[in-house]
Amino acid sequence: MKRIFAVCFLVLVSCASGSDFVPESVADHTGEVSRVEPLSWWVGMETPLQLLVQGENISAYDVRAEGGARVTGVHKADSANYLFVDVDVDVDRAGVCYLVFSQDGVDRFKYPYTIEQRREGSADRESFGTADMIYLLMPDRFVNGDPSNDATDDTIEKPAPDEFFGRHGGDIAGMMEHVDYIADLGATAVWSTPLLLDNEPRGSYHGYACSDYYHIDPRFGSNELYREFVAKAHEHGVKVIMDIVTNHCGTAHWWMDDLPFDDWVHQFPEYTGTNHVFSANMDPNAAVEDLKIQESGWFVGSMPDMNLDNPFMLQYFKQWAVWWIEYADLDGFRVDTYPYNEKVPMSEWNKAVLAEYPRFNIVGEAWTSSIPQLAYWQGGNPNKDGFDSHLPSIMDFPLREAIVGALPVDHPQWNQGLRRVYDCLSHDFVYHDLSRMMIFVANHDTERIGDLLNKDPERLKISMAMLATMRGFPQIFSGDEMMFTSADLSQGHGGLRVDFPVELFTERDGLQAELYDYTKKLFQWRKTKNVIHNGKTLHFLPRDNDTYAYMRYDDREAVFVFINNSLEPRAVSFDDYGFDGGVDVMSGKAVNKNTTIPAKTAMVVEYEK
């Protein structure tokens, strides 16, 4: 059906504080309006406000705004059950305004809509960056702080704590209980996998098949509780990054029974999945059809692919993002499955968020082994086709692959082992901004680092030392600080996303205590090291494939890292690297220019230049 872009009318109604509109003169709505999104708005916003109004045959009504706002345009959709209403908000008028619905010139009912004052300095909020360490957790597998919400009447899937892919009961209350643990570890930001409603009948614990973009899943908590969590995290010096999905929703999303427009989601004569060919986005030789399937095909059968080329869909996502930042006081976004989105509309989405919050950081998941393809997605990159994503940050999957491919190897062959890390970083010239890269060795979608390292605690320490000292900003996955491993490797995601035993928050002994303390010391040290946050990198060609040396340096100081991943101690002369010695960060002891690095050890030495 052809989309109708009909502007029905412009209502020139005075909405100043002196308006003579009397709310009592119009009846309250009695269910004619099912929903209005965004749920509320604020004065002084840069983002244009376009309300999605849903209700049975709502398009049969005219609508105006009274009391602090004015309607400037009304757009009908393909479905008669939607209106998209453009609204201007008075810059000096917070409070309740009213959407007044009428027919044949007679007011039928009104809908109250709240306009709030913004937080002071909201637009200038800082975000996360190289001074931060990000702690990633899956709420359902973290802590069950409120067992009363494990099952709710309005959600389908019930708790199944013994099932690999079932809901285990973790929630926002559990996250709030242990913010202090996250901060004590040295993390300065927390990224939780999605908390919005996912009402799929199976596998809903992960949250990536959204059923309602404006409400927290009640099995996790509520919108209000999430806002309290953010406030508590800020009290502990921890920023909050929201994990969002613009590429797809879930088949259980409320609009799937009645799409506003026929092209609201990508539809095909029969089910068509994405081909996963990221290269089609930048390959000058790629067939148009391959790009179409890459960005329009569904991620999986339960995740309908959103059509960001629909301008109403794109505007919906722009103001949805802004709404959550403003409402919850967020510090950043992580965007899931980034290259599966239509790239030009998504570039506009980034620009819109940054126009509202210029210092806000957004990191996109572009899961590729190709360094040039990854670099393509970072905003400001000088791409040959002229495309600019305006995406500030990217996840460094190639570096992850190099590290996890190098560390488990006992006797690396030529060009293997730590030479892989050297070769990966030798391509840093390709990237536009090295400070805007998230580095990691594992997350909720990859294998556990403990499994990949064959449960070797010394090599786990090496991985943490590398994350703490390399360019970019580090992220660690919940439990890796104590070398959690999969409950069952054959179960894939369900096996690696293990629960966090609550006793480990306060009582650790043996190897778990040793690994926790090592990680904590590293990242607490890192918090104050500008040379790590903003310094340059100098690395040295490995003398063999199981050692690697590099420096982070600025005009005042330097940090030297020597990684011995071999099975034998290695003698090192610092003369070879241009300095005499310094202080071992982990032991606090002075290190002479000639020293021996034990087997499977990373030595981190700081010194003044």
Instruction: State the catalytic residues.
Output: 336, 365
- Residue 192, classified by CB atoms within 10 Å of its CB into exposed (0-12), middle (13-18) or buried (19+), is buried
CA 494/CA 305 separation, integer angstroms: 24
The single-letter DSSP state of residue 62 is E
Residue 437: closest CA among 384, 391, 373? 391
Tell me the two tokens of residue 518: 């090592």
Q: What is the C-alpha R_g of the chain?
A: 26
**Among candidate residues 561, 588, 408, the one with its CA nearest the CA of residue 471:** 561
Helix/strand/coil for 364: strand
Rounded Cα distance, 195 and 200, in Å: 14
Q: What ranges make up the beta strands (E) of 368-445? A: 393-395, 437-439
What's the token pair of residue 21? 């509109």
Contacts of 591 (CB under 8 A, 6+ apart): 574, 581, 582, 583, 584, 603, 605
Q: Please list the residues that pair with 550 across neighbouring strands.
A: 539, 561
Distance CA 419, CA 415 (A): 5
Q: Which residues contact 162 (CB under 8 A, 6 or more apart)?
A: none
Beta-bridged to residue 76, according to DSSP, are 83
What span, in angstroms and rounded, lies between the C-alpha atoms of 283 and 274? Answer: 17
Task: Verify cis geometry, omega within 30 degrees of 0, for the bond prior to 38.
Answer: yes
**Strand, coil or helix: 324:** helix
Element (H, E) at 548: strand 547-553
Q: 330: which residues sit within 8 A by CB, 6+ positions away? A: 230, 240, 241, 242, 324
Q: Cα angle at 169 between 164 and 174, to 5 degrees?
A: 125
In the structure encoding, which two tokens stand for residue 401, read together? 């692959």
At 17, the amino acid letter reads S
Structure tokens at 385: 């086709």
Q: Do residues 344 and 238 touch, judged by C-beta distance below 8 A? A: no
What residue has token string 């872009």? 5
- Strand 473-477 relative to strand 536-540: parallel, antiparallel, unpaired? unpaired
Task: Name residues whose C-beta falls within 8 Å of residue 270's C-beta, 6 or more positions apart in sequence.
Answer: none
